[in-house]
Structure 1
Amino acid sequence: MTATADAEAAANELMPLAEYLGRVLRRLRALPPLDLDLTQAHGNVLAGDVYAPHPYPAFDQAAIDGYAARWEDLAAAGRIGSHPASEGGPRSVRLNVVGDLGAASWRPVRLTPGTCFSVAAGAPLPVGADVVVPVHWTDQGMATVEILHAPKRGSGVRRAGDELPVGRLLAPSGAYVTPPMVAVFAAAGIGHVVVRPSPRVVVVATGDELVDVGRPSQPGQVVDANSHALTAAAVEAGALAYRIGICDDDPEGLRGLLEDQTLRADLIITTGGTGTGPGDMLRRVLARRDPGRGAVEFTDVALCPGTALGFGTVGGEEVPVVCLPGEPGAALIGFEVLARPVIQILAGAEPVFRPSVKAHLLETVSSPGGLREFRPAHVAERRGGGYTVQPLAGGPYTLSGLAEANGLLVLGERVTSAAAGSTVDVLLLDRRR
């Protein structure tokens, strides 16, 4: 049997990625809802529809600075500005100014024929007023004012509930609370909202060989890049993330550390030790089924880079745990494929997966048969519509490729080569969140 045939036979023994994700994600539920003060709700996902309990604006008000008047008074002498010069030229209207109203005015007032109020934007509208004349359309008089041009009836006026009537759906369940949404809620009189809390994610790197950042790797030592990167990735996904750091390959110490973290975590992410080699202690420790302590199932998935992934629960609280490979590029791809969707489900967010587009491939690429490959790429919009995608470094150089990427080129299990000019799937990585 040839080396290629051996590789394909081995790949056929791996679980398809779609099947694996289906099994894992079906086990998860969104975190219980939480009632939060409006100022704390930003970035969380709404746990239910939100409707306007009060109208916005809450009362009839002036939309601009000017003079609140009755439109009938402005039209009493004919249509201002409508008469040609041969008929005497444009006419103006003079009204008595009976008071000033600011945004803080609260006493109800009423217009009588031939009068108006000087008003500031946001001021309550006098009873009977149905137009606000802009200041620059007048002589800006104080006791009396000459109206030089007449706006249309209703101009410069905002009626109660014009923008948001009572009972209006302000935001649906599952929507992220954004700053403008916070403003809408506040304007409608909402001080608290029920949301799904941001998942608390703990990140642990495992391995005797690991050392902290700040010095280069030496033989027998590997700088821990993973826990830093995965903590940042979890924050980018909307979680409250905490980096625990490095845990040695001590079985009892590892199990104790993880159980301690169940008190503060909604999800634990580990990196390293997912394989079957002599140093892969994490897999041997967490795969052990101890009553009341949870267990993690490790699966060889048809995924490139990285095939060994783990998912299960730890501790009496059965906190979910995601176990990712130790190679940094594979760990970050594993996060995108598995850990990020888990975070989205816990947060009650939709959609669970990154958005994807079809793109025109600019360069021929090869891919390992039997594996679904996620390769770093740069995506650009084409003039006239559509996208192009430029593959970046993959394979053993995936980490450096990811640092430049704004997308992930997805090559299916049956693809061994994709020609330049062909159409491929690309996941869009939004780094701006």
Structure 2
Amino acid sequence: MMPPGLLISAAASGSGKTTLTLGLIAAFRAQGVVVQPFKCGPDYIDPAFHGAAAGRASFNLDSWAMGADQIAALAQGAQGADLVIGEGAMGLFDGVARPGETGTGASADIAALTGWPVVAVIDCSGQAQTAAAVALGLARYRADVTLAGVILNKIASPRHEALVRAGFANAGIPVLGALPRQSSISLPERHLGLVQAEELPRLTEMLGELARFVAAHCDLAAIRALASGGLPAASRTRVPPPGARIALARDAAFSFIYPHLLADWRAAGATILPFSPLQDEAPDPTADVCWLPGGYPELHAGALAAAQSFRAGLATFARSRPVHGECGGYMALGAGLVAADGTRHQMAGLLGLETSFAKRRMHLGYRLARPYLPLPGLPLGTALRGHEFHYATILSQPDPALARVEDATGAEVAETGSCRATEGARVSGTFFHLIAPATQRVSA
């Protein structure tokens, strides 16, 4: 039986969704409640924090990239939990203009599909009663989405809280908690969002602090009582593994791979063989494919350049078996990477790609890719849905393009990825992060 759930959302990014979500998960877990977390939209970092707080893997649910059956099937991961807590992305209704598989990628799509009531985090800084007007707009915008209540954030004083609460009383919207401004309750950030969970030595202590902070200022019993919804059991087409034995780069430089992909690969019988390029480890020679996920190679470019065993082992592997890199993994497969300070670091050299962070430019959005060549495990002709999020500038991309890539409006983008044939295999890479094969018909 599926447990009831809630979706934590807001009117905008930066309102405090992640802080509240982690605090709620940790606070309920401290009470003995088994919480299953989810994250709306494409995001690698928040789910890792969710997992640390809940002790259960957090899965992404994405209405643009995933079909309704896939979302329902992933939601089955909540079986055995007492409560589901999903975290939204950006504002509640923010998505792209043209729908994908089941929606525009908005968190509201997931709330509507699952029936999970929304608890909105309202950033009250710089306003009082007007905060209720913002929440009233959230409550009325879509008839298929239920706003169950709000948690006030960045409350400056008791007087401020009283004024804000008066506005919500007039609007008839329940206030489930009020979080005072407290600069010590925050998570460190960098250019792609939060610092990764695995990089924080005080993570357990920080989660304990968040749990106590949220428990002290929110009505946990009332919040849990609002939970409802759930999806019926569903089957889906899983993402096929790229090989039977997959050498997977896995460390602080290569950590961006979706849990549902790993779950799909394992469900198909594949064996995952992790190795650490930062520890100068080469891919397992018994593997039949090597996969380098995204991450932060720009922060570890010097260490990667010095990892002679990794680079030599990767080159040997690529002579007879396919190697594929996504985003950071793609950059690591290239010839060189220029760090933010202007220093060029030699990369693996299996592709001619040269990238630079000396002049950062953000590339962000959903992507639909049609590979020109079959990727490992994926037959030619399979359209793929995913996203791109990086700050690298391409200085040179001399190898043949890997795919035709479009954004969510159907416009072609320049980041096509690239490929290079070796003696017995193919090296490929792309800035595109795979989420799922497209199931809806897409025009060629």
TM-score above 0.5, yes or no: no
Q: TM-score range by the shorter chain?
A: under 0.3
Normalised TM-score (structure 2): 0.21
Report which of the two has the higher share of helix.
2
Normalised TM-score (structure 1): 0.22
The structure with the largest alpha-carbon Rg is 1
Report which of the two has the higher share of strand.
1
